[in-house]
A and B are shown apart, each in its own frame.
Chain A
Amino acid sequence: MHNVLYVEDDAMSREVLGMIADLNPGLMAVRTLPNSQDFEAYLLNGNPKPDIIFLDIHMAPIDGLEMLTIIRNHASFNDIPVVAVTASVMNEEIVLLQGAGFDSILAKPLDMDRFPENLNRILKGEMIWIF
């Protein structure tokens, strides 16, 4: 059972991750945060450390890239694998994400069927770039 933290401003996308959890009992416990402020609050309030963090890239006021920096600079969260989740798969964006240091990149729409396998591979340290 992995603890998954998902920061995502699109409600439906948040639901999707919940659905994946439902369909795969014992796979993960999902906690979603709807915006970056909540995320910062989560960090500040000494909440338990997740096993993996999924970050939506297109968010405001702080986007996924900035949040990655915050995580990496955090005392205890900096070693958690961080996965970028993005609906935009243009070259420039991909290059940006690859250069930013995300552990993996998943494209929206998420592949529900392969998600469990991908999750395990990422947690084993594999870099998956699906887009």
Chain B
Amino acid sequence: MATTNSPMRNPTSVNKDARLDQSRWQTIWTYLAATHDTRNETVKARLRRYSLPILIMVMLFFVSLSQGAAYFVMNLPWAIVGIFSVYMLLVPFINFNEAIPIEAKASGRLIILVTTFLSVNISYNTLYGTLSGDTQGTVSLPLALVVISLSAMAWLFITRGRLTQAGDVTVLMLLILSCTPLIIAYGSFGTVVNQPIPVDNRVGAGVLYFGGYLLVLLMPYFIYRNWQRILLAGLITVGIHSVGIRTATTMGDVSQLIVSNYVLINSVLFAAIFAFVNQELRRREQEFLVLIDTLEHRVEARTQELAEALKITEVARDEADRANNVKSAFLASMSHELRTPLNAIINFSKYLKKGGAGDVNEKQEHLMGLVSESGEHLLTLINDVLDMSKIEAGSLKLYVENAVDLRDTIELAISFTQSLGNDKPIELKTEIPEVFPVITADRKRLLQVLLNILSNAFKFTEEGEIVVRATSDDKKVLISITDTGHGIAPEDHDSVFEAFKQTESGLQQGGHGSGLGIPISKKLVEAHEGRLWLESELGKGTTFHVELPLESSLVPTRS
């Protein structure tokens, strides 16, 4: 349970105004707590605003009724005028420091109400006495000034934010109200009380009255949270007060008891109301604090969850890294281990075929040729797999040079693949302008792309022609390789660019290869910020288009 003196627990930053609207004391409390803009107030709203003062007046009315019309006439009008005038004039304009909690604002206004009432009443009393010369039943001027000063002090304290704790406010209120025994002791309250209190007992009475209040004050702060307890404390105080009155005055006149008690009752009622609302506030505050606590717990739990999830992600990432490293190491060794024997296979067979170890007959030459071709084919497959894995790992690096002569590259590609068409009635045509742009690119990789496309063209064309066309404009170059092969079915157009896929027709043709040539080419062209696509018609042929930009963001590779 938070104590009243722990500012940290006062959630002033929260807009508690919004939360206070469910209580049945809404009218009174929100009225007290809110800052009013009276400019556009409806009559209904205005009446609501005055409900508390009205309530108080009704209370006083009934209390003072017991004293007869005289009291009613004498004191009530002053009270009405006093309270309403002050309230209407001042309260809406009281600019509470925003940092003051709502309960302090509300109880501050209560204090202002009460002290205003007291001040006005006392002022009237003094004035009446001074004017009529009858100082017997009036309050002395110094005392009046004391009460008024205390009221003003209370007002200042609260509005300037010196008193922000509800408990303090309650205490201050009761302090001020405890002045009334002094008043009663040293002068009667209002002219209705015609029998002044005997002087010789005034001190005693005052002590008793004051003592009664002190008793309430000395009780621990926490009782002020409970309106029942306050009522109880008030009743005790009333009891003491009454005893005091009875000792101080002549017995029998109960009306005096009531009259002098009315302030006490009022103050007790005020305190009770205040405490009740306070209790409500505190209950909500507790709820709110519990909510905050649970929120804190929930946030903590969530943070915990997230931390664990992060740990899992980190572990997963570490494992992924490790897996990647293993894969890289594997590929590195595979690259090395697989290529070394190929050195012997390819080159030894070539050597033998060329007669390096002596004359060979036709059959031997033929077979050696097949061995070296197979070796080279195997090498291509290994290179393709390596390329693909590099591409997938995102680690394919281009070796970029300035001024790569595309014309040269195309012609080189043609010269490499020409022999593939030796056994077939295929005519190779080229349409390349004499002057053709140079671009910044990886020469070797572009050659690889063209070789892939050309070898595909030769592979899938039985007869006819393969045309290599090169065109350019001021933004890009376009290299198109058209064959008169059997074409690619529309549903297979996309899968041509997918790794490891061979089309139905391709397989039927007995096509071997890794199925990686075109996919790799596509990635290579895209790495040059270009495009690779195809047009094809079954039975007619296929055209591959390679488009490369003249300007790209590629920069020459410097080691």
Contacts and interface: CB of A to CB of B under 8 A. Distances in A.
The yes or no verdict on A and B being binding partners is yes
Interface of A: 10, 12-13, 15-16, 19-20, 22-23, 58, 86-95, 98-99, 107-110, 112-113, 129-130
Determine the main DSSP class of B at the interface with A: helix
B332 A16 contact: no
B356 interface: yes
A91 B390 contact: yes
A89 B335 contact: yes
Nearest first, the 9 closest Cβ-Cβ pairs linking A and B are: A98-B559, A109-B343, A88-B336, A12-B344, A19-B351, A87-B339, A16-B347, A87-B336, A90-B332
A16 B333 CA distance: 22
B356 A23 contact: yes
15 contacts: A12-B341, A12-B344, A13-B343, A15-B348, A16-B344, A16-B347, A16-B348, A16-B351, A19-B347, A19-B348, A20-B347, A89-B339, A89-B386, A92-B328, A94-B397
B343 A108 contact: yes
A52 B390 CA distance: 32
Interface in B10-61: none
B346 A109 contact: yes
A93 B356 CA distance: 34
Interface of B: 328, 331-333, 335-337, 339-348, 350-351, 354, 356, 375, 379, 386, 390, 395-397, 399, 444, 559
A126 to B, nearest CB: 12
Given A90-B328, A99-B559, A22 B351 contact: yes
Contacts, number: 84
Contacts of A113: 350
Contacts of B336: 58, 86-88
Contacts of B395: 91
Residue among A15, A109, A130 with the most chain B CB within 10 A? A109
Given A107-B339, A112-B350, A129 B331 contact: no
A53 B397 CA distance: 27
A80 B348 CA distance: 29
B356 A87 contact: no
Contact of B339 (A93, A98, A99, A108): A108
Contacts of B331: 90
Contacts of B399: 129
Given A88-B336, A90-B332, A93-B332, A12 B343 contact: yes
Nearest to B375: A109
B340 A87 contact: yes
A16 B356 CA distance: 11
A20 B354 CA distance: 11
Contacts of A107: 339
Given A109-B342, A109-B343, A129-B399, 14 more contacts: A10-B340, A16-B344, A23-B356, A58-B336, A87-B336, A87-B339, A87-B340, A89-B335, A108-B339, A108-B343, A109-B344, A109-B346, A112-B351, A130-B444
Residue among A15, A20, A95, A108 with the most chain B CB within 10 A? A108
B339 A109 contact: yes
Nearest to B355: A23
A108 B348 contact: no
A23 B559 contact: no
A108 B342 CA distance: 8
Contacts of B344: 12-13, 15-16, 109
Contacts of A92: 328, 332
Contacts of B343: 10, 12-13, 16, 87, 108-110
Nearest to B372: A112
B397 A91 contact: yes
A93 B340 CA distance: 16
Given A19-B356, A95-B559, A129-B399, A108 B340 contact: yes
A93 B347 CA distance: 24
Contacts of A19: 347-348, 351, 356
Contacts of A88: 332-333, 335-336, 339
Nearest to A11: B344
A110 B342 CA distance: 9
Given A12-B344, A98-B559, A99-B559, A22 B335 contact: no
Nearest to A56: B340
B419 to A, nearest CB: 12
A13 B29 CA distance: 99
A51 B395 CA distance: 36
B340 A23 contact: no
B336 to A, nearest CB: 4
Contacts of A130: 444
A98 B333 CA distance: 20
A22 B332 contact: no
B409 to A, nearest CB: 15
B386 A109 contact: no
Residue among B331, B333, B335 with the most chain A CB within 10 A? B335
B339 A23 contact: no
Nearest to A108: B343
Contact of A22 (B328, B337, B356): B356
Contacts of A95: 397, 559
